[in-house]
Amino acid sequence: MSGMAAAAPGTNGNGQARERKPPGHRRGAAPPEMPAEHALLGLITLTGGEAHGYELARHFDPAHPLGLGEILRLEQSMLYQHLKKLERQGWLTVSLQPQGTRPPRQMYRLTEAGRAELRRWLAEPVARTREIRLEFLVKLFFALQLDRDRAARLIADQEDVSRGIAADLEAQLASLAGRAGDDPAATTELTFRRMVLELRLDQTRAVTAWLNAISGTRGAARA
Amino acid sequence: MSGMAAAAPGTNGNGQARERKPPGHRRGAAPPEMPAEHALLGLITLTGGEAHGYELARHFDPAHPLGLGEILRLEQSMLYQHLKKLERQGWLTVSLQPQGTRPPRQMYRLTEAGRAELRRWLAEPVARTREIRLEFLVKLFFALQLDRDRAARLIADQEDVSRGIAADLEAQLASLAGRAGDDPAATTELTFRRMVLELRLDQTRAVTAWLNAISGTRGAARA
DNA sequence: CGGGACATGTAACACGTTACATGATTAG
DNA sequence: CTAATCATGTAACGTGTTACATGTCCCG
């Protein structure tokens, strides 16, 4: 099956080393949202601008009172990899803080670039309805605690995006209704396409309604 | 940072080789649904019980008339890996079919175990609301084309599951409402938890309504 | 003669998960 | 004595993505 001669790793037929672009994300797709990493930036800010890994990990426990762990889980093993990646990106700096006999804490602090990235991310609504359940909720979690005004704007912007998605789906449904009825063989596939679009539309409308409802929850938090 | 001495690969402190369980899925989580692989089983059945890789790949094109490519994308490179995995699982067999000068086709056929697995998978509703958008739609796609009765039962079973999820979320919301009001410091976190539960409930209710609507869609589309 | 369809693959890399390693302190 | 908590990490493995390899046939 795989007995064919393959070029040696990192070479082409001429034996020349090639430059290989890092994989990155799919061409047509939107860039990844990386909610876990931004959550770390947010958590460090929430805990007073400085935190160590173990402390951050506790926030991802499903039983943690603030509730982040209920929407986003982060294994301890990934935590440190994310923190290293964030450091490579220049979004945070690490400093060792000795602890006597215990293993020294790695104290993480945001850089100015890290703070800017967190602000940018918090201001950006998500592009797709399926990203509401994870990415948007994480944004909302931090926006509510860091800056109520920013949270209100985020909700409003997201509502606009969701309305746009709904309008687009409605247009697609309308164009589907145009070519209906004549060919019974094509009816099955049209039926399925319509079902898919209707599901997406219903989900998007539910999100829009929810966004509208929570934007109304202003001071009702106190009552 | 990583200058510490680490044990050699596959050994412990005593130098003994260890048995290592394969990673598998997360302990608390449900087993993965593997929609792409089951879609391949379904596609081979749809195309008359026998198909080659290239032919299967075309069905995942977003422009394909049947519409599978709009909900599930499968890169060509993954396709052959999935087919190999399905063969290892014993769900299909491969036979080479020479094509003259062209590269020979690998013809894939389901085994009896493969047919049983496809039936089992098609009869099983998904457990979580977020799996509706991908896993359930893929099941529905095949159920509609292979067996209308099975499709109707699948929709009904899924509606039951969704109602159960909704009831559970409603109970959680009620228990949240119980401990409200007294401590203003805890109010912010309760507000967020409530928002999360309300989003999930709205999404689940939208799914339930959609399932109910499509179960009524026999021949005609509704207004 | 160039480009797309046909037809099958591998190489490199990122990422998430499980399991394991290290080693002190504190609670039962 | 044993387990949990504190605190950090690595090893192995599966899997998904991008990019590239290989060759024929057919169309304009």
pLDDT in tens, B131-186: 999 999 999 999 999 999 999 999 999 999 999 999 999 999 999 887 766 666 66
Which residue, chain included where needed, has tokens 């299909």? B92
- Is any Cβ of chain B less than 8 angstroms from the Cβ of A7? no
- Please answer yes or no on whether A217 and B203 come within 8 Å at the CB atom: no
Could you tell me the two tokens for B122? 């098609």
> Would you mind telling me the total number of residues written for chain B in this entry?
223
User: How many alpha carbons lie under 13 Å from residue B30 in its C-beta half-sphere?
Assistant: 8
What pLDDT, in 10s, does the model give residues B75-108? 999 999 999 999 999 999 999 888 777 778 899 9
Has residue A115 got a pLDDT over 90? yes
DSSP-based three-state secondary structure for B12: coil
Tell me the one-letter amino acid at B92. Answer: L
> Which residues in A lie closer than 8 A to residue B198 (C-beta atoms)?
210, 213-214
Place of tokens 């021949």: B219
Structure tokens at B152: 């109707």
D10 C1' to A80 CA distance, Å: 11
CA distances from A101 to A98, A104, A106, B135 (A): 8, 8, 15, 51
CA distance B150 to B158: 12
Residues of B in contact with A187 (CB under 8 A): 219
- Residue A155 corresponds to which tokens in the numbers above? 């909700």
* Cβ–Cβ < 8 Å for B155, B215: yes
What pLDDT is attached to residue B183? 65
Angle, CA of A23, A69 and A102, to the nearest 5°: 90
Q: What is the rounded (10 degree) CA torsion for B130, B134, B135, B136? A: 80
pLDDT at B15: 39
pLDDT in tens, A126-146: 999 999 999 999 999 999 999
Mean of the per-residue pLDDT values of chain A:
85
Q: Which residues in chain B are closer than 8 Å to A141, comparing Cβ atoms?
A: 192
pLDDT at residue A15 greater than cutoff 60: no
pLDDT of B219 higher than 50: no
Q: Where are the alpha helices (DSSP H) in chain A?
A: 35-46, 53-58, 68-71, 76-88, 112-123, 137-146, 148-178, 184-216
The greatest distance separating any two alpha carbons of chain B, rounded to the nearest whole angstrom, comes to 80
Q: How far apart are CA B88 and CA B94, in angstroms?
A: 11
pLDDT exceeds cutoff 50 at B3:
no
- The answer to whether residues A155 and B192 touch, using CB atoms and an 8 Å cutoff, is no
Return d(Cα A222, Cα B182) in angstroms, integer.
10
pLDDT at position A39: 97
> Least CA distance to A94: which residue of chain B?
B1
Amino acid at B123: A
The whole-number average pLDDT for the span B111-129 is: 96
The residues, any chain, with a CB within 8 Å of residue B27's CB and separated by 6 or more, are none
Model confidence at B18, in pLDDT bands (50, 70, 90)? very low
Alpha helices in chain B (DSSP H): 35-46, 53-58, 68-71, 76-88, 112-123, 137-146, 148-178, 187-216
Q: Is the pLDDT of residue B13 over 50?
A: no
Q: Quick one: which residue's CA is nearest to C16's C1'?
A: A78
Distance, in Å, from the CA atom of B129 to the CA atom of B144, rounded to the nearest integer, reads 21
pLDDT score for B24: 60
| Residue B221 pLDDT grade (very low, low, confident, very high; cuts 50, 70, 90) | very low
A39 Cβ neighbours under 8 A, 6+ residues apart: A68, A72, A74, A138, A141, A142
Residue A169 structure tokens: 């789906």
Percentage of chain B exceeding pLDDT 70: 81
Contacts of B82 (CB under 8 A, 6+ apart): B36, B37, B40, B74
Residue B42 tokens read as 């379904």
Q: Which two tokens stand for residue A74?
A: 């982060």
Q: Could you report the per-residue pLDDT of B39-59, keeping only the tens digit for each?
A: 999 999 999 999 999 999 999
